[in-house]
Amino acid sequence: MTLFDFLDISGTIAFAISGALVAMRKRFDPFGVFIIAFVTAVGGGTLRDVLIGRNPVFWMANMEYIYAIMAGTILTIILRKRLRYLSKSLFLFDTIGLGLYTIVGTEIGIEYNFHPIICIALGTMSASFGGVIRDVLCNKIPLIFKKEVYATASIIGGIAFLVISNYTTNQNVTYVVTSLIVIAIRLIAVRFKLELPSFYTTKQ
């Protein structure tokens, strides 16, 4: 297994745990927990593959993703009492998934020889849209539509990935540094309450 494959599966598990935690906080039954974990883990990547015409989509071609989601879901259910007392657990796993999936999506864009902007968009989509589907199904406003620095961290990570790739031939260094950049931006933004400006209109 290459480092890229390891990061891909790790991101899947992280997002599956993130989705399972949200579902359990909403008091879903076991089936509902698995469904939310599943769409959180593969939702963004599925949309990415459909848009670029990748057939079949990644999780249909490789059962390791299904096993990873099942393992993440079962692990979360088993450790639910401990995770419940960790107020930052959802944030932590969601942030890890964001960092790892940014790499995966951007790398796939490069493999398909897309324009750098499209590669960054695919990285952001892979990392963010599973969370969007999760939040919509759980009747929450998706994080990327709020003022929080979320998709922005993924965009910066995608840019960093492309820049670093031009200065080193060691892909492992690129993967690790990029994921750490995304995770660090998200952690710093939350720690210091950094937010994007919001726009609204007043009633006439």
Predicted confidence (pLDDT) per residue in 121-139, tens digit: 999 999 999 999 999 999 9
Q: How far apart are CA 98 and CA 6, in angstroms?
A: 15
Can you give the pLDDT at residue 188? Answer: 94
Can you give the pLDDT at residue 203? Answer: 58
The predicted model scores a pTM of: 0.91
Do 194 and 149 contact (CB within 8 A), yes or no?
yes
SS3 1: coil
Do 143 and 129 contact (CB within 8 A), yes or no?
no
12-47 per-position pLDDT tens digit? 999 999 999 999 989 999 999 999 999 999 999 999
Can you give the pLDDT at residue 84? Answer: 61
* Residue 93 half-sphere exposure toward CB, CA atoms < 13 A: 25
Which is more confidently placed, 157 or 195?
157
Can you give the pLDDT at residue 201? Answer: 66
Q: How far apart are CA 29 and CA 94, in angstroms?
A: 21
Burial 140-150 (b: 16+ CB within 10 A, else e): eebbbeeebbb
Do 109 and 125 contact (CB within 8 A), yes or no?
no
Q: Is the pLDDT of residue 1 over 90?
A: no
The percentage of the chain sitting over the pLDDT mark of 90, rounded to a whole number, equals: 78
Query: What band does 146 get if pLDDT is binned at 50, 70 and 90?
Result: confident
Can you give the pLDDT at residue 145? Answer: 85
44-75 per-position pLDDT tens digit? 999 999 999 999 999 999 999 999 999 999 99
Q: Is the pLDDT of residue 88 over 70?
A: no
Can you give the pLDDT at residue 87? Answer: 52
